[in-house]
Amino acid sequence: MDIKKEWSYKEFLMREENISHAPYGPEFDFYIAVKSGDIDKVDKLCKNDFSDKIGLGQLSDNPMRNIRYHFIITVAIVARYCIEGGMEHEAAYRLSDFYIQQADRCSKIEQISRLHRIMAIDYTKRMKALRMNKIMSKPIVKCIDYIYKNLNIRITVVILADYIGLHPSYLSKLFKKETGVSISMYIQQRKIETAQNMLKYSDYSPAQIASILAFSTQSYFIEVFKKRVGMTPKKYRDLYFRESIPYAED
């Protein structure tokens, strides 16, 4: 196994108290929506800029520092709600650390506002996926967990079946029944989603990402990415890299 490639992927994975005075009702609705995985509601609640939220207390005389403090508080509360909803402690706190670090790099209030929506939707999507996993059988949940943790290697049905302890044919049928897609298709979907995140949130080139995610060739990676996303990895990076993580130098 290529240790450097494995570490590159693992490193990417690891980087993915309420003292404000906002009205309690809307605040409660927001956190519950995130916790329950209600993407539509969270998206609607995040339409207005975070900095324009009614009732934000003054935690600092410096406007930029004030909004950053409120962002940090919000991330901390979101993480705790998600833990209550079943998210693994370490995963919730690693994600909060990641977003707090990004907020620390922002130099404009509007950057924090954009980051707030990205953070909220990210947690909500993860909670929705977690909720979906709860209605799956243990073998399939274990199978999906293995896939997510090992996207940096070539995964086959035989490898998964051996890991789970089921016959490959039975596992394939069970996986398709519970997820609606084949194992190979699911793996491809997860790899492309991870590639999208790496293009947005990391400095890895498309060629490096293709290698890290164990695509047979860079050209095959580009072909699959374009088919699923509708554009090449380079075009995707050009469009979304700086919008997704609002760096201080923006």
* Domain range summary for the chain, segments of one domain joined by +: 10-133, 136-244
The per-residue pLDDT for range 156-188, each reduced to its tens digit, is: 999 999 999 999 999 999 999 988 899 999 999
47, two tokens: 């339409």
- Residue 5 and residue 152 in contact, taking contact as beta carbons nearer than 8 Å: yes
Pick the CATH number of 136-244 from 3.40.50.300, 1.20.190.20, 1.10.10.60, 3.30.450.40: 1.10.10.60
Report residue 135's pLDDT band, with 50, 70 and 90 as the boundaries.
Answer: low
194 vs 208 pLDDT, higher one: 208
Q: What is the pLDDT of residue 2?
A: 58
Four-CA torsion 181, 183, 187, 190, nearest 10 degrees: 40
Per-residue pLDDT, averaged over 122-132, amounts to 86
Q: Which of 49-53, 126-130, 164-168, 196-200 has the lowest mean pLDDT?
A: 49-53
